[in-house]
Chains A and B, each alone.
Chain A
Amino acid sequence: LQVVETGGGLIQPGGSLRLSCAASGFSISGKYMAWVRQAPGKGLDWVSFFYSGGRTYYADSVKGRFTISRVNSKNTLFLQMNSLRVEDTAVYYCARVETSRPSVFWFDLWGQGTLVTVSS
């Protein structure tokens, strides 16, 4: 039971990058999934949430620049990041979401993260 992120790297400001999160041991089609990031030396910062029925949610700081998606046949979650800024530099974690009732969500499985560095 795990999720593994790939796709991080060094990118110039204004550039684009796509992160992938490959899940194993469970099917992402039956789960909500999310991306959470952590800037160097800082706390956890929620990025995006893939909800049931294809609904998606984004932090204000990334709305309009980042897009979360998934391909169920590949059991993989993606994060397309465009117009990257220096302040987007962080380790990006993929996380499985669990819920017990509406409006109650937590992250019960995390990957090891992939580092995105935005710098000229």
Chain B
Amino acid sequence: SYVLTQPPSVSVAPGQTARIICGGDNIGSNSVHWYQQKPGQAPVLVVYDDRDRPSGIPERFSGSNSGNTATLTIRTVEAGDEADYYCQVWDGSGDHVVFGGGTKLTVL
């Protein structure tokens, strides 16, 4: 089955840029979606279809996807961005939804 790999944690200082990667075999041929989950809350969609943002999500959040790596980029990081972030694809070969293991973003 298809596997998505994320680093367990990423740390960044306020005002800097955070990059959270999601690795998968030829993931660039899939569409990748990203979710933010704060403690005790439900996940929230922040990027869909590789690079599109739902309404209400700040422009500071952006996505890219190529080769074997998809990336969620958060510019000018704020304390409120501290959360777990998950990538997700649809595995058409197995008709399954696949989530990455999640990355905890810590704002120093």
Contacts and interface: CB of A to CB of B under 8 A. Distances in A.
Interface stretch (A9-17, A64-72, A75-83, A104-112): A104-112
Given A59-B96, A106-B49, A108-B48, A44 B43 contact: yes
Interface in A87-117: 93, 98, 100, 103-108, 110-113
Given A44-B86, A46-B98, A103 B43 contact: no
A43 interface: yes
Interface residues of A, number: 23
Interface of B: 1, 31, 33, 35, 37, 41-45, 48-49, 54, 84, 86, 88, 90, 92, 95-102
Nearest to B93: A103
A91 to B, nearest CB: 9
A108 B45 contact: yes
Given A93-B43, A110-B42, A110-B44, A43 B86 contact: yes
Interface string A22-61: 0000000000001010000001111001000000010110
15 contacts: A34-B97, A36-B43, A36-B97, A43-B84, A44-B35, A45-B99, A57-B96, A60-B96, A103-B92, A105-B90, A105-B97, A106-B45, A110-B42, A112-B41, A113-B42
Nearest to B94: A60
Contacts, number: 60
A36 B45 CA distance: 14
Interface of A: 34, 36, 43-46, 49, 57, 59-60, 93, 98, 100, 103-108, 110-113
